[in-house]
A and B are shown apart, each in its own frame.
Chain A
Amino acid sequence: EIVLTQSPGTLSLSPGERATLSCRASQSVSSSYLAWYQQKPGQAPRLLIYGASSRATGIPDRFSGSGSGTDFTLTISRLEPEDFAVYFCQQYGSSRTFGQGTKVEIK
């Protein structure tokens, strides 16, 4: 099983700042089969990024994904108030597993 480790656990930032979230895999994720989701309290996760770097439909361009192999990054260029949430990475190249999440909170 591919284990995904996200860091940091919590990111405290102010609106307008840049957020950089990391997702590290225990083994290489084939064909960059990696996605990022945003989850707000009481809601289902929402797909942001698939294929490591492709934005899902309707996702603002302040969200970007990068990386390959075992190291992946989600960047939010300028935090908007609605971006404060929990973010999960997921790999779907070998079965399907999720990271434990990074909470982006208001500083």
Chain B
Amino acid sequence: QVQLQESGPGLVKPSETLSLTCTVSGGSISSYYWTWIRQPPGKGLEWIGSIYYSGSTDYNPSLKSRVTISVDTSKNQFSLKLNSVTAADTAVYFCARHFKAMASFDYWGQGSLVTVSS
């Protein structure tokens, strides 16, 4: 059974960079697409971006200028960096998997709350 686990700081200062890592266990990161999604407290879901195990990326146009997603196949991990954060970036960040580019998200991590505050 594939499992995903987010990790990273729970508190980030305004204007700094939010960094999260998703560790995949129970299966290989290869041959799949991996994505980041966020959910502000009490609100809906927003797709941030996706990466194929080979490294090709696809980002939400509204966040593209601030987002970098990378993959480390040797560690079965992929990562998110979001720079110049503000309070509006406070959210639960989920990592998830999809088996092809045009596919729904079939496995999700439990989510990691990141608060942007000084």
Contacts and interface: CB of A to CB of B under 8 A. Distances in A.
Nearest to A31: B102
Contact of B102 (A47, A92, A97, A99): A92
Interface residues of A, number: 25
A98 B47 contact: yes
B42 to A, nearest CB: 10
Given A31-B102, A33-B102, A44-B94, A96 B47 contact: yes
Interface in A32-51: 33, 35, 37, 43-47, 50-51
A101 B108 contact: no
A44 B105 CA distance: 11
B61 A95 contact: yes
Contacts of A35: 104-105
The DSSP consensus for interface residues of chain B is: loop
B103 interface: yes
B89 to A, nearest CB: 17
Given A44-B111, A95-B60, A50 B104 contact: yes
- 7 cross-chain pairs, A with B, having the tightest CB-CB distances, nearest first: A35-B104, A44-B108, A50-B104, A96-B47, A98-B45, A100-B44, A47-B106
Interface of B: 35, 44-47, 50, 58, 60-61, 94, 96, 98, 102-106, 108-111
